[in-house]
Amino acid sequence: MVTLVVATTTDPASIGPASALLAMPGWHPGPLIQDMPSFVNKEVRLLQHNSSIVKEVHLDKRWEEATGEVVDEVIFLSKHTAVSNRPALTVHPIGVPHLLEGDTLPAGGKPGWAAPPSPRIGPWLRLLKTIAESHNLTPEFEVTLEATHHGPEINSPTMFLEIGSTEEYWKRQDAAQAIALVGYLFVCIDSFVTMFLLLLVWEGLGLGGGVDVGNWSRNNGRNKILLGIGGGHYVPRHMDIVLKDGAWVGHLLSGYSLPMEDPSQFKAEANAEGVGGAWREAIKVAFETTKAAFPGGEVLAHLDNKSFKSWQKNAIMGFLAEQDIKVGKPEGRAKTSKTFFVSHCNSWGLMHLRVRETRGHPHANFAYTTLKVAGTLVLFGLLADSPMSTINVMDKKLNFMTNRGVCLRSLCNGVTTHDELSLLLVTLSIMVR
């Protein structure tokens, strides 16, 4: 199975990150798919076309028919627009499950359709936010989820990664051009926007040699998925759960995707049958496609209660009960004990001093970036299958880039879990900022 990354040459916020990604090692030309060039790197396929990002439909099926390779997931690179014009980096599932036959399709898709949401959405959002904060990209850029919306029609698990929200930010070609790649060395700190998405896709898909981030098959028993119902387009209450509790995330239905006809009377006692509109179909499609994207998982509906009137909430709760859809909040990740902080204070201090020795070294900036990104990857996706193998990967990268013999293994005695290792690495990344 392969991952299909899709970019369009008509969108600067799409072709910029794609070009930066293709500048990394390991790519070679792939097959021409109906006049669309492609590129191959391990199990990842990058496909470029010249149409609107939401107009080329069933690219997964077209790839499979042309190559015989089964597409496991699709990631679209795109621009984001907003009335506020605020710079933003967004992640979201796609679909228009609330639209009916004959309704206008403002941005592709098919009435009543939603693609299965990519299981990577939650982990990659957390990774996006942490890297952005580590590199002072916030608060200039808002890192956020968006509700499920638009096309193109596709049947594989899918997510959109978007840069917004004006042409000034879509065309950050200076960022792409400012990345000088010598091995894995980023020599220009001003290229944060493109470097940011480049690191996300490169490491998130495991192209850098580590384990990919957000792989549902490695859910470690945390098998509950959030299905967001209600709220605004940027679904803040659902996003709060995803960020703070480490939840897997499925479809996110904002208020405008739940069209409900106001009953003329007895609003407080309205049941599901008494409230018209396409909201039932939207919830049902969102639930079914989310469940399909997370085999073996338990989908929990999470309501933004403050966004609903009482009659709306009553109707939705009644329908969820009829459909046997459970309501709740996915559990968070396990916490690391305070004992770990105390027992590793000396290790942090020693590592801090040894990394500081690299200041002035031509590869020092990359060493700091490696620490920050690797710590984040361990926290949200794992670089390797065990803490010590992760340490070995980190150690080799640091020794190669800094030429200073910084040895993680000697500083990580007693580390037994990835939570503990991630805590050490993230703390270290803060210390060397």
Domain match, 192 and 250 both? no
CATH of the domain at 263: 3.40.50.10700
Flag whether pLDDT at 404 surpasses 80. no
Flag whether pLDDT at 240 surpasses 60. yes
Q: Which of 304-308, 342-346, 379-383, 404-408 has the highest mean pLDDT?
A: 304-308
Q: Which of 70, 64, 72 is nearest to 158 (CA)?
A: 72
Flag whether pLDDT at 189 surpasses 60. no
- Whether 333 is covered by a domain: the verdict is no
Give the angle 308-291-152 at the CA atoms, nearest 5°. 80
At 202 the pLDDT is: 80
Domain match, 21 and 111 both? yes
At 142 the pLDDT is: 87
C-beta atoms surrounding 276 within 10 Å? 13
Domain match, 43 and 97 both? yes
Domain match, 277 and 348 both? no
What is the per-residue pLDDT across 31-42, written as a single tens digit (0 to 9) for each? Answer: 999 999 999 999
Domain match, 360 and 420 both? yes
- Per-residue pLDDT, averaged over 174-196, amounts to 34
- Whether 328 is covered by a domain: the verdict is no
At 140 the pLDDT is: 81
Q: Report the amino acid identity of residue 278.
A: A
- Whether 165 is covered by a domain: the verdict is yes
Flag whether pLDDT at 187 surpasses 60. no
Tell me whether residue 227 is exposed, middle or buried, using C-beta atoms within 10 angstroms of its C-beta: 0 to 12, 13 to 18, 19 or more.
Answer: buried
d(CA 197, CA 193): 7
Domain match, 200 and 302 both? no
Continuous segment of H or E residues that includes residue 367: helix 364-380
Residue at which a domain ends, from 218, 237, 272? 218
Q: Which of 160-164, 276-280, 358-362 has the highest mean pLDDT?
A: 276-280
- Per-residue pLDDT, averaged over 189-214, amounts to 71
Classify 360 in phi/psi space as left (phi over 0), alpha (psi -120 to 50) or beta. left
Lowest-pLDDT choice from 219-233, 283-297, 357-371:
357-371
Residue at which a domain ends, from 266, 297, 322? 322
**389 confidence band (pLDDT: 50, 70, 90):** low
d(CA 145, CA 121): 9
The domain tally of the chain equals 3
CATH of the domain at 102: 3.40.630.50
Domain match, 24 and 133 both? yes
What angle, rounded to 10 degrees, do the helices at 192-204 and 12-22 form?
60
Domain span at residue 276 reads 224-322
- Whether 197 is covered by a domain: the verdict is yes
Flag whether pLDDT at 180 surpasses 80. no
What is the per-residue pLDDT across 311-350, written as a single tens digit (0 to 9) for each? Answer: 999 999 999 999 999 999 987 554 333 333 333 333 333 3
Residue 258 vs residue 378, higher pLDDT: 258
Residue at which a domain ends, from 322, 346, 363? 322
Q: Which of 412, 31, 380, 359 is nearest to 210 (CA)?
A: 380
Contact 69/163 with Cβ under 8 angstroms?
A: no
Domain match, 164 and 279 both? no
- Whether 128 is covered by a domain: the verdict is yes
Q: What pTM was estimated for this model as a whole? A: 0.75
Q: Which of 148, 76, 122 is nearest to 297 (CA)?
A: 122
At 310 the pLDDT is: 92
- Whether 352 is covered by a domain: the verdict is yes
Domain match, 396 and 265 both? no
Q: Residue holding tokens 């499950």?
A: 97
Per-residue 3-state assignment (H helix, E strand, C coil) for 249-274: EEEEECHHHCCCCCCCCCHHHCCHHH
Flag whether pLDDT at 275 surpasses 60. yes
